[in-house]
Structures are given as structure tokens and as C-alpha cells.
Structure 1
Amino acid sequence: MAKFKYIDHGQGGAPACMTLAEREWEQPAGRQVLIQVAYAGINRPDCLQRAGAYPPPPGASPYLGLEVAGRIVAIGPDVRGRKVGDEVCALTPGGGYAEYALADERHCLPVPKGMDLLAAACVPENYFTVWTNVFDRARLAKGEKFLVHGGSSGIGLTAIQLAHAFGAEVWTTVGNEEKAQACRKAGADHVILYKEQDFEDAIKAGTGKQGVDVILDMVGGDYINRNIRSLAVNGRLVQIAFLQGSKAQIDATPIMVKRLNFTGSTLRPRSDEDKGLIAQALAEKVVPLMEQGKCLPVIHKVFPLAEAAQAHALMESSQHIGKIALKVQE
């Protein structure tokens, strides 16, 4: 059988464990499509999986890479809405760091008009994540105050742009002025330099002690209690990652007094049907904005596929602003 190149992370470990290797083709089954990958996006969960801290859920690919863009070259027997030759971006169950990758047709989006494949590869993971957490789970509404921590990350800039586009007042935290400028450009109304100012104090002062309505957090640790205290009455806190750990001793009194909702989710283990519904919402609500030149991915740097280790090292340094991607082939 024909073989193709992919990134093998072996037994896992530091970024240097990743090497370019070859494996055999997999024919698409059921509603799967096989995509000839042009570009693949880099995401924090990839780094965690490589390091052994985020094992794939049952049934998922053991390989790295959760989003790609390219051209469909084969389809499974039950595919109904895609055809060979379609250019798509797709959320994959893993295996995106490769010349060819499988994805469920329901998790594919057409490449928005005017968008190239590089930008399209940087859409699925972040936009699926932000939409399902900020708009589905937290029900962010026009006119509400929204805070996202780590605003200069891929997730952060996506959240800022979408929240702004749908009429929220957007707050964010960042580590330096360069990142602050990127967030303001993306649509943030209030940017807090967390190394210089306590975000709780800034929110209290900026909202007349009322707090914000929705918080999207990837930090965890001691941010959990600080987030709870920073929420307004009927506020919603959504947890999607734990850069500072998942454990904290929580004072639940503000949850009761202010009638708060504390929720969270992970994307990869969700059912194909669930992810398909998120894709439908994006196609209806977000792709039209992208085709108007709004809410586009911010891309920091592109590496060749063979330099995936350098891409992961950059991701883990947190020096980037926006997305990091791999160029697989033209």
C-alpha cells in the first residue's frame, strides 16, 4: 500500500520526540473523508498529548493534529454532503500533522470565500471551542460584559473577535503591551496587563463593582476563585483548560449569593453528532462574517511539517500572538 509522511511522537516527551515518519494509508469508512492536507494548525492539546498529559479518548486517532485544511481525495460509503475535490477545513480526531488525514464529513467546513488554506487550517479547533463554550454553554448575549484570559492566544483572539462581533463588551488579560495591542486590534474594549494590575481590581473598578457576565478561562489554579469573585449576578464561568492546575479550594458562597453557573467542557471526546451541530452553527453564524473579512484567524508563524518540534517549542514558550501552523504541502 502507498505510504504518506506524518509526525510521529513515539513514546512522548519533550518537543524533540517528534520526528517525520511514514505510515500506510487508511481508507475512509462510514461518513469519513480523506483530506490531502495543505496546512495543519497547532494547538495546546497537541502539546499536552505529546507530553503524555492528554491521552486521546477511546476511538480517536493516536496521532497528533486536531485541525487541517486541504482537498478531499476520497470519501467513505456513507458520505452525503461532501465530494472528492472539495476544499475544506476540518476538525480531526487526531492525525492532522500528516500529508493525509481523516475527518468526519460533519466536522468539515467549506473554506470561506476569500480565505486561503493557511488561514482555514487555523479555524476549526479554536472556533469550534469558542462557539460551543461562549455562545452555547455560557449563552453570551449582546450588551453583556465578557472576559477571556490569555487574549493573545489563538483561543483568546478568536473569543475577542466573536464576542465583539456579536455585540458584547470585551475584556481580556495579557502579559505585555505588544499582546495588548493585538487584543485591542481584534476588538477588546478593555485590556488588563495582569503583571501590572490585579484583574479583579480592574474589573471591579471598570464595572462599578458589578462584575462581568461571562468569563472564559484557560488558567485555572488560583484564577478559579478570582473569576468567581469577578462575576456579576447570574454570571457564567466556563473552564476549558488548566495552565495552572485543576485543583483549588473554592469558596462557594458567591456562587450561591450571585446565582452563578460554573461549567466547562472538552471538545475532543464529544460525539460526532455534537461536533456536527457546532459545525452547522459556525457555517450559519460565523462563516458569513469571515466572508466579509471579519473574525479571521490571526497567524503568528508557519513551520514546515518536519519542524513540528520547533512549532511546539514556540507554543509552549507563550511568546506567540495568535495561531501557529504547519505547512504540509501546496
Structure 2
Amino acid sequence: MADTMRAVDIKNGTGPATSLYINSSTPKPKPRTTDAIVKIKCFGLNRMDLLQREGHYPVPPQAPKTLGVEFSGTIESFGSDAESGFKKGDEVFGLAYGGAYAEYIAVSTHMLMHKPEELSWEQAAGVPETWITASQAMYLVGGFTPGKTILWHAGASSVSIAGIQLSRADNATAIYVTASSQEKIDFCVKQLGATAGFNYHTQNWSEEILKATGGKGVDIIIDFIGQNYFQGNLDAAARDGHIVNLGTMSGTKLPAGVDIGAFVRKRLRFEGSSLRSQDENYQGTLRNTLAEHALPKMREGSFKIPIEKVFPWEEVVKAHQLMENNQTKGKIICRID
């Protein structure tokens, strides 16, 4: 068996999208005791990949340098103490600390799921990171229960696409989104079931949220933006509301004049969350939650897994450039043939 494989690498360690290339002499991973070795069919892109490529993401110490955290493929081999329920040749998809932009990956069996036959390899590769992140933010961190209202920023992003559908299926009273265009808002409302959406380029979304809710605001806000939305989130949150921050796309430094009085006046909670830094037992719990609540609806087709575009992995540069354009309405997937 060969000791090397092909994997996407970065010239000089970090750089722009054009620095990505396929390195044909990458060491093939070896399994730990609880790992499986999976031969990858497809991998999904995530915004953290762009940050990691540029050297701006805190990579967990157990992650390999190769990019990528979600994938689909077939099990080739196991470590000595892998989780029962899997066998060689099984079609699986899963979440990893890194290493998915490659022909093979070593991943804990606690972070694998059997691929339903109803899902394509491309769809399966686009599920783990986004749907697990959405369910973690909404349920475990945000404390969502049926009847609450929720706002998903970046409504046409893959995580929010999952979150909107989870919110609808679990009987949110109202589901609001922000997005950069009317096309994206229509997609969220007409195809995914959001209640209403607001264009952050042309509308004051926090004021619109208050109008839509009769001044009450929303119970849970899921935010990826950070600095630019901090004040708006405080304004749009309901009393005893919970703001869950998953990213800081606009920056981390708050401008002068931010009014934090709402924290006391409304009894708000602001909580940051990440998935990649969690241990594999925690991620295994999230995997089981996803398998219980989302996979049945994916099999029957009531949960959509929109794919923006599938690239052959030799075009990974184009895939990253497309994600950087911020114009997508679904997952970007690379396929290894």
C-alpha cells in the first residue's frame, strides 16, 4: 500500500486562492486506535478554509495542515478500537478536524455517519459542518424551543440554510433572515420557509425586525458578522434574548459609541461558539443529534441540501474564488475522481 497520496497544499504555507495546488507526495494518514481511514469521494468548502488558507484561523492542535473538515467517501480500514457499527466498504460522510482536501483522511468513527442512499456523494459532503454547526448554535448554545422566534444572519449561507429548515421543522413562531440581495431573500422565504428577510445593503435590518415583531424583537439571533452587527443585534434582540456569535466576518473591534445598555435593560446573553475546537465525544453527541433529527427529513426530501456548484478538485482554486465572491446560495463541493 502506498505511503503517499494526493492532497491540496498551499505554496509557502499561507496565501491567496491561487496558492492552492495538488501535492502528489503528501504522506497518507495512519489511523489512531479509534479512527477509520476513508477514501474520499467529495469534500465541502467552508469559510474557515479561506481563513485557514490565509493564516487567520486558530487550527486545533490535532488537525493536519491539509484543509477541509467535511467529506463523503468509503471506509478503507480501521484502527484497533474503532466504534462498532461500521465496516470496510461502508459509504459514509463525516466531520473532521482537518485533512478533507485529500484522497484519504483519518477520522474518528465517532464523527462518521452512514450515507443514506437517497443522498448523492456531493450532498452528503455538504452536510456535516453546516448542519451540525446550525444545530449546535440553535439548540445547545441558543436554547431554542418550539414557539421561539429566531434571526439567521447571512440567510443564504450554508449554515443558515440548514438553520432555517431546522427552525421551521421545530415550529419556530417566526424565522427572519438578512441577506445581500432580494434574490437571496426570496430563496430563503419561498424555498426554505423563512417568514421574512431584510436586505442589509438597502434596509436597516434591526429596525425592520422591530417593526415585524411589534417592537418585541427576536428571541435568538445567530450571527456570523461580528463588529458591524453588534449594535443591531442588541437593538433587535427581545427581552431575555440570546445572541450566538459564530464568526467575525466584519472584524472584531467595536467602534466608539456602541451602547451596551441592552444587556441589562433586556437581560441579554451574548455567547460565542465554535465547533472545530470541541473534543470528539462532544462532536459525536452532535452527530447523533443530527442523525436523529435531520437525516430522516433528508431521506424523505423535506430538508433541502442546496449545492451551488461542484468542481473537480483540480479546480480548487476556482472553488475558493467563488466562495470569496459571497454570491452563493448553497454548498460549494469538490469531487475527487
> Following the alignment from structure 2 to structure 1, what is the Cα–Cα distance between the partners of residues 49 and 263?
33
Matched, 1:282 2:285: no
Separation of aligned partners in 2, 1:294 and 1:98: 31
Task: Report Cα offsets for 1:125-162 as digits up to 9, x if no partner.
Answer: 10111111111111112121110111111112111111
Q: Is the 8 A contact 2:60 2:97 kept in 1?
A: no
**Following the alignment from structure 1 to structure 2, what is the Cα–Cα distance between the partners of residues 31 and 216?**
33
Residue 172 of structure 2 is aligned to residue 170 of structure 1: no
* Structure 1 counterpart of 2:22: 20
| Unaligned stretches of 5+ residues in structure 2 | none
Selected match of 2:202 from 196, 202, 209: 196
Give runs of aligned pairs for residues 120-131 of structure 1, distance below 5 A: 120-131=124-135
Moved more, 289-298 or 196-205: 289-298
Amino acid across the alignment from 1:154? S
Pairwise mapping of residues 45-56 of structure 1 onto structure 2 (< 5 A)?
45-56=48-59
Paired letter, 1:171: Y
Distance in 2 separating the partners of 1:253 and 1:71: 53
Aligned residues, how many?
329
The match for 2:220 is 214
**2:309 aligned partner, one-letter code:** K
| Cα drift, residue 69 of structure 1 | 0.4
Question: Does the 8 Å CA contact 1:165/1:295 hold for their aligned counterparts?
Answer: no
Query: What is the alpha-carbon distance in structure 1 between the residues aligned to residue 299 and residue 314 of structure 2?
Result: 32
Percent identical among aligned pairs is 33
Structure 1 residues 2 and 160, CA, compared in 2 at 3 Å: closer, same or farther?
same
1:2, distance to aligned residue in structure 2 (A): 3.6
Q: Structure 1: how far apart are the matches of 2:116 and 2:167?
A: 20
Q: TM-score, normalization: structure 2?
A: 0.95
SS at match of 1:201: helix
For structure 1, the 5+ residue unaligned runs are none
Q: Secondary structure in 2 aligned to 1:222?
A: helix
Cα offset, 1:189, TM superposition: 0.9
What is the match of residue 132 of structure 1?
136
Structural RMSD (CA): 1.2
Aligned to 2:317: 309
Contact 1:236 1:262 in 2 (8 A): yes
Equivalences for 1:77-226 in 2 at 5 Å? 77-81=80-84, 82-168=86-172, 169-184=174-189, 185-226=191-232
The residue that corresponds to 1:324 in the other structure is 332
| Partners of 2:34 and 2:82 within 8 A in 1 | yes
**AA paired with 1:33?**
A
Query: Cα offset for 1:113?
Result: 4.2
Query: Which aligned pairs between 1:264-303 and structure 2 lie closer than 5 A?
Result: 264-303=272-311
Deviations 1:246-275 (A, max 9, x none): 221553321112111110111111111111
Q: Distance in 2 between matches of 1:115 and 1:239?
A: 30
CA contact (8 A) 1:234 1:259 kept: yes
In the TM superposition, what is the alpha-carbon distance from 1:112 to its structure 2 partner?
Answer: 2.8
Which whole-Å CA distance do the structure 2 matches of 1:146 and 1:206 have between them? 12
Report the AA paired with residue 297 of structure 2: L
Runs of 4 or more, structure 1, over 4 Å off, are none
Between the aligned partners of 2:82 and 2:249, the Cα distance in structure 1 is 38
Which stretch of the first structure deviates more once superposed, 245-254 or 182-191?
Answer: 245-254
Give the conservation status (yes or no) of the 8 Å contact 1:133–1:264: no
Partner of 2:238: 232
Mapped contact 2:36–2:108 kept (Cα < 8 A): yes
2:7 is matched with which residue?
Answer: 6
